[in-house]
Structures are given as C-alpha cells and as structure tokens.
Amino acid sequence: MNRTLVKQALEDNLLAERIRIQGWIRTRRDAKSFSFLELNDGSCLKNLQVVVDAGLPDYRRLPEATTGAAVAVEGRLVESQGKGQSREVVADSLEIVGVADQTYPLQKKGHTQEYLRTIAHLRPRTNLFGSVFRVRSRLAQAVHRFFLGRDFVLIHSPIITANDCEGAGELFQVTTRGTPASPAGSDRNFFGQPTYLTVSGQLSAEAFACALSNVYTFGPTFRAENSNTSRHANEFWMIEPEMAFCDLAGNMDLAESFVKYLIQDIRTHCPQELELFQRFVDRELASRLDFVLGNPFKRLSYAEAVAILQRSGKNFQFPVEYGVNLQSEHERYLTEEHFRQPVTVHDYPRDSKPFYMRTNDDGRTVAAMDVLVPGIGELVGGSQREEREDVLRSQFERHGLDSQKYRWYLELRRYGTVPHSGFGLGFERLVMFVTGLANIRDVIPFARTPGSAEF
C-alpha cells in the first residue's frame, strides 16, 4: 500500500479511505480498551492521531511504540470524535519500524534552543525546528520563482575561486597539501595558483550579466571571519542578482521588491508555521512582517544616517563620525528605534568599501547600498559596479590589488561595457527575519561557526 503523508491525510480529500502512514511517535496515551498515538512525519506541523484498539492482533507490540519510535500504521481515515483534531486514523495494523529507548532526548517539550543545538541531528524532529526548515525550503523555492517570473537566468558560480571579491582577506584556502593526493613536501598548487572557497559569486555574475542581461546566483559562500556573533556563520547561502543596464536606484528597487515578495510568499503559504513562531519565538512577528509588506523602505544616504546617529544622543560603544563603518549597534538604532522599519542606506564613503563599487561624481563616495532590517541589521549589501576601465584600474591600485589577476574582469570593461548593478542577500538572515529566530545557528541545518563543525 502506498504511503500517505500526514499533511495529505489532514488536507486532501481522503476521508473514509484506508491509508498507510509512516512517521515518528510524539506521544502515546493508553486508555482501557485502546491507545492514542500522536504521529508526526514532518510533512506539516500537525500530528495525526492514531487510535489503536486493544482488540487488534498488533496491540501486543504497543509497549515498543514509545516516544521517538518509528511506526507504520494502516487504517481508515475518519472524522475525529475527540476535541483538538479534525481527523484521525483508526488503525487495523501497527508495525514498529524502529524502536527508540528511554535515552531518546526529546521525551519532553520545552528544551532550550541552546540545548537543541547540541543535538542538531535530532532537533528537526521538534515542532520549532521542523517549522524553521520547512519555511527555509519554501523560501529557497520562492527565490527561484521570483527570478523566474522576471526572466532572470540562474548562474552556477564556482565554489572554488582565486579571487577575494570582498577584499577582506577572510578566505579559506583550498589545497591538497597534507592529503594523499599531495605527498608531503610537494608544495605545488593544484590549480596553478592559490585558490579559496568563494566569499561571493558576484564577479562571475557580472560576466554573465554582461551577456545575458539579468542573472542571479544562489549558492553557499564561505568567510573565515572569527566573529562569534548571532548573525555570522562561516558557511552561509547568498542570493546575488546582477543586472546589466541598471543603476543604483534600479538595484534598490529590486532588493525591496525581492524582500517583500519572499515575506508575502511565507505569509500566504506557511500560516501554521508563522503562528507557531508568533506564539513561541517572537510576539511581534506578524505585525512586523505586515508592516514591512505595507510600507516602502526608508531610503537615506550614509551621510544622513551618520547625522541621525550623531543627533540621537545615544552612547554608542563605537562613536559615530563620517567615514566609519556602521556597526550593528548603529544599524539597529536606525531600524529599531529611529525609523522602526527597513532602511536602505546608500552612497557610502569609498574608503570603507570593496574595489568594484562605482565611484560617484563627488569622488569620495561609491554607489553602494545596504538594506537594514529590525532585529537583524544588514540583510542585503550591493552596489552599482565600476564600469569604467580606467577608474577600475585606479581602484585596484588604491586597494593594493594586482590587476593582472583581474585581467578577465577588466576585459568586461573593454568590450561593450555597460552600467550594471547587483546585490547579495544573506539567505540565513532572511530566514531569521521571517521566523523571528535570533541566532543564525538555529536557521541552518548544521551551522559552521568558529570552533564548531561537529555535525
């Protein structure tokens, strides 16, 4: 008999049919002449209640049907008699697929998120983490639908690269040294030059935008920054659209529509999960998401942002003056206290930004933009790109970069160069924003952070 998922049993037109469901037992309650199993298979938040009559031959297996055990049940799907659930299965067979003994750590509800991180292989079996990862999956697919609907072409940018796109030196080197592929003492670079795990697919995306017009990448990126914060991971996923014939204003417009589209998609398609986050994670989640959907993002220049911060009267740990990088305390003041909404800050001082950003006419700032959101800080970082070969060359000099290594990137400026723009949206930060979870470790299946790669 084919398997029916719990989601299908609860939502599809299957009443009165005989079905087979398979899943893990959340709880068992024994009455005099029958038992109730709460079965969850992760296909949706809800459990399906199974009624096992004491008269069934398989009833003798019931002691093995403990919390955490995997079972397969066949029986008729009926309208539920009891309160609290709409449908239940009246079992006519019960098979124990895999037992779970008394050491199963998810016996009780109410474990802390910190504790659940130590059992990252089991936490998807909880309501909270099952919901987080269903929402993450839905968001990833919404990303593709958004771009498909706008005729963007998906580019698979390389994971192993020779460039440091962001110029921050936070690179993991890729090498065969010390492995059987490279005997001790042999010092040869496998790729003929040092290579690293990519920090960004942007440079590849630029080449393809200057051929296919509107493109995007969506892949893992890696940064060796040793910052153990709730918003940084060493391996995270980034979505990077890149558009030819597009300036900074068009770039900001796309970022805003993109963020709104993704939130709307979850608002429409994951109501049960959102309700759970609202109840157990963040009481203001729904109103915040609705506010974001209903209002234009506030746009202001870096200079205006600095002026607001200086006038705030706040005693920041990092004092604010024109030219400094905005720290997360500053970003949070702007979005959480001053504007209380997403804010797009644009036109940053050139010296604080990577080589590829387009220099503005004032010669001091670049056409950069960051989207900051409440609770997270920076969600999106992007810019218009420097499309003028001579200016780009002088940028390489200013940043102490060897223009020989960027020969192909410079050629994009020699042959049919065009204004073009793009941004990167940190996928985990988006999942945090949509779920209300405060720690990036709780929105990645198995997080990579300094000192931690157990799973």
The answer to whether the beta carbons of residues 89 and 75 sit under 8 Å apart is yes
Stretch that binds ligand 4AD, among 27-35, 70-78, 337-345, 425-433 (CB under 6 A): 425-433
208 binds ligand 4AD (CB under 6 A): no
- Binding test (CB under 6 A) with ligand 4AD, winner from 24, 208, 236, 277: 236
The footprint of ligand 4AD on this chain (CB under 6 A) covers a number of residues equal to 23
For position 419 contacting Mg ion by CB under 5 A, the verdict is no
> With binding defined as CB under 6 A, does residue 378 bind ligand 4AD?
yes
For ligand 4AD, which stretch binds (CB under 6 A), given 11-19, 114-122, 128-136, 426-434? 426-434
Helix (H) or strand (E) holding 185: none
Q: What does the alpha-carbon distance between residue 289 and residue 277 come to, in Å, rounded to a whole number? A: 12
Rank residues 387 and 428 by Cβ distance to ligand 4AD and give the closer one: 428
Give the β-pairing of 34-40 and 18-30: antiparallel
Nearer to ligand 4AD, 28 or 330 (CB): 330
What do you get for the CA distance between the two ends of the chain, in Å?
35
The interface region with ligand 4AD, picked from 53-61, 230-238, 278-286, 306-314 by CB under 6 A, is 230-238
Residue 235 corresponds to which tokens in the numbers above?
A: 């391996």
Least distance between ligand 4AD and beta carbon 308 (Å): 21
For residue 173, give Cα distances in angstroms to 136, 190, 191, 295, 362.
29, 12, 12, 43, 38
Please report how close the Cβ of residue 378 comes to Mg ion at its closest, in angstroms.
6
202 forms part of the interface with ligand 4AD (CB under 6 A) = yes
Q: Does 347 bind ligand 4AD (CB under 6 A)?
A: no
Is 381 among the residues that bind Mg ion (CB under 5 A)?
Answer: yes
Write down the least CB distance from residue 292 to ligand 4AD, Å. Answer: 16
Closest distance between ligand 4AD and the C-beta of residue 368, in Å? 9
> Is residue 434 at the binding interface for ligand 4AD, with CB under 6 A as the rule?
no
Q: The tokens 């220099």 sit on which residue?
A: 359
Closest C-alpha among 89, 91, 96, 120 to residue 106: 120
Query: Could you tell me the smallest distance in angstroms from the CB atom of residue 426 to Mg ion?
Result: 9
According to the binding rule CB under 6 A, does residue 382 interact with ligand 4AD? yes
User: Could you tell me which residues are beta bridge partners of residue 25?
Assistant: 39
Coil/strand/helix, residue 187: coil
Q: How far is 85 from 54, CA to CA, in rounded Å?
A: 22
The answer to whether residues 248 and 367 touch, using CB atoms and an 8 Å cutoff, is: yes
Interface residue with ligand 4AD among 28, 138, 223, 441 (CB under 6 A) is 223
What does the alpha-carbon distance between residue 439 and residue 444 come to, in Å, rounded to a whole number?
A: 10
Which residues make beta-bridge pairs with 78?
88
Q: Measured from the CB atom, is 236 or 355 closer to ligand 4AD?
A: 236
Residue with tokens 């005989």: 18
Residue type at 422 in one-letter notation: G
Backbone conformation region of residue 348, classed left if phi is above 0, alpha if psi is from -120 to 50, else beta:
beta
DSSP state letter for 306? H
Amino acid identity at 164: D
| Identified binder of ligand 4AD from the candidate list 18, 61, 111, 232, rule CB under 6 A | 232
**Residue 200 interacting partner from ligand 4AD, Mg ion, none (CB closer than 5 to 8 Å by kind):** ligand 4AD
Tokens of 198: 């990519």
State which of residues 424, 443, 444, 447 lies at the interface with ligand 4AD (CB under 6 A).
424
436 binds, among Mg ion, ligand 4AD, none (CB under 5 to 8 A by kind): none
Say whether residue 441 binds ligand 4AD (CB under 6 A).
no
| 429 binding ligand 4AD? (CB under 6 A) | yes
Single-letter amino acid, residue 454: E
Q: Is 382 one of the binding residues for Mg ion (CB under 5 A)?
A: no
**Position closest to Mg ion via CB:** 381
> For residue 293, what is the enclosing H or E element?
helix 285-294
Other Cβ atoms closer than 10 A to 290: 12
Which residues would be at the binding site for Mg ion (CB under 5 A)?
Answer: 381
Q: Which residues bind ligand 4AD (CB under 6 A)?
A: 165-166, 200, 202, 223, 225, 232-233, 236, 238, 240, 378-383, 422-424, 426, 428-429
